[in-house]
Amino acid sequence: MNDESHDIPASMLCEYFVGHLDQESSQTVDAHLASCAGCRELLRIMSLLSGAPVEEVSPPTGGHPTMEEMVCYYRDKGSLDPQAVRRLDAHLRDCPDCQSEITYLDELESELRRAAQ
Ligand SMILES: [Zn+2]
Ligand SMILES: [Zn+2]
């Protein structure tokens, strides 16, 4: 991941997401989002985390679960079918990359909760 283009800190994106940014800052974020797929993806993850309905959980194409699956797993295991939960349990045991995704979701959620206050 190339972080150099990410001049918008995650905390600012969180405030943008919960609508706590002043107009000028939100315009800066808007402009950045227009050209940054990474931050658009981050916003999508935030809305999933805050309870936006997951349209469909598509089966994973590569070896790793999709972000939708990870968020469902993190948010509410009951929203996944038991087979998928078992697959994710097993995968997460062995995959440090996906373990750190879950940690990341956790941090992002605390950040969102802080921003919403
Ligand atoms: Zn960005
Ligand atoms: Zn993985």
Q: Is the pLDDT of residue 74 over 70?
A: yes
pLDDT average, residue stretch 38-50: 93
Q: CB–CB of 45/71 below 8 Å?
A: yes
H helices of the chain, in order, are: 10-18, 23-35, 37-49, 67-75, 82-94, 96-116
Q: Where are the domains of the chain?
A: 3-116
Q: How many whole angstroms from 87 Cα to the centroid of ligand 2?
A: 11
pTM above 0.75, yes or no: yes
> From the CA of 29, which ligand is nearest?
1
Question: Which residues have C-beta under 5 Å from ligand 2, the single-atom ion?
Answer: 64, 95, 97-98
Q: How far apart (Å, rounded) are the C-alpha atoms in residues 112 and 109? A: 5
Average pLDDT, the chain: 89
Looking at the CA of 73, name the nearest ligand.
Answer: 2
What's the confidence (pLDDT) of residue 83? 93
More confident residue, 4 or 105: 105
